Structure 1
Amino acid sequence: MTKKRNNQKKKTNTLYTIIAAIVIIAWGIYSKSDSFNFGQNNSIKTAQRANTPYGGLSKSDYEKLAKLDFKSGDKAYITVNNDKSTLIKNAWKVNKVIYSNLDSLNRTSHSNTAFLERRNVANDNLRVRQFIEPTGWHYNRRNGTQIYNRGHLIAYSVSAGIDQNGQYNPSNQSGDQNNPKNLFTQSAYSNQKVQTIFESKVRKALRENQRVIYQATPVFRGNELMARGINLQAISTSGTLDFNVYLFNVQPGYVFDYNNGRARRDRQMKVSE
Structure 2
Amino acid sequence: MFIGIIFLIIGLFAIIVAFRQRKDRLWFALLAIITLLLSWNQAGTYARHKSNHLKDVMSTKVVTRVDSNASKLATSLESKNSKLESTLSSRSSSLKKKAGSLHLSIAKSQSDTSKTSSTPSTSQAELATKQYAGQQTITINQNEPDFSNTDLSTSRGAWQTYGNLDSYNRVSAANALLNKRLMPKTERESLDVDPTGWHNKRTSNGWLYNRCHLIGYQLTGQNNNAKNLMTGTRSLNDPEMTTYENEVAAYVKENKNHYVRYRVTPVFRRTELVARGIHMEGQSIGSNAVHFNVYIFNIESGYTINYQTGTSVKK
Q: TM-score if structure 1 supplies the norm length?
A: 0.67
Is 1:118 aligned to residue 166 of structure 2? no
My pick for the range that moved more, 218-227 or 139-148, is 139-148
Matching residue of 1:57 = 120
Matching residue of 2:26 = none
Question: Which of 90, 94, 97 in structure 1 is aligned with 2:157?
Answer: 94
Is 1:185 aligned to residue 256 of structure 2? no
Q: Unpaired segments of 5 or more residues in structure 2? A: 1-114
Question: Which of 172, 178, 189 in structure 2 is aligned with 1:128?
Answer: 189
Give 1 or 2 for the bigger CA radius of gyration.
2
CA contact (8 A) 1:66 1:221 kept: yes
Structure 2 counterpart of 1:247, which letter? Answer: I
**1:211 Cα deviation from its structure 2 partner:** 0.6
Matching residue of 1:104 = 167
Matching residue of 1:157 = 218
Distance 2:116 2:261 in 1: 12
Higher relative contact order (CA 8 A, sep 6+): 1
Question: Which of 76, 89, 99 in structure 1 is aligned with 2:136?
Answer: 76
Q: Give the 4+ runs in structure 1 shifted more than 6 A.
A: none
**1:146-196 deviation per Cα after TM superposition (whole angstroms, max 9, x unaligned):** 10000000110101xxxxxxxxxxxxxxx2111100000000111011000
Q: Unpaired segments of 5 or more residues in structure 1? A: 1-51, 160-174, 267-273
Q: TM-score if structure 2 supplies the norm length?
A: 0.59
Q: Would you say how many aligned residue pairs link Structure 1 and Structure 2?
A: 195
Is 1:238 aligned to residue 286 of structure 2? yes
Change (3 A) 1:202 1:97: same
Alignment of 1:171-250 (within 5 A): 175-209=221-255, 210-240=258-288, 241-250=290-299
Change (3 A) 1:233 1:131: same
**1:55 Cα deviation from its structure 2 partner:** 3.7
Q: What's the C-alpha RMSD, in Å, of the aligned pairs? A: 1.7
**1:54 Cα deviation from its structure 2 partner:** 4.5
**1:95 Cα deviation from its structure 2 partner:** 1.6
CA contact (8 A) 1:84 1:242 kept: yes
My pick for the range that moved more, 60-69 or 94-103, is 60-69
- Compare the two structures and name the one with the higher helix fraction: 2
Aligned residues with identical type, % of pairs: 34
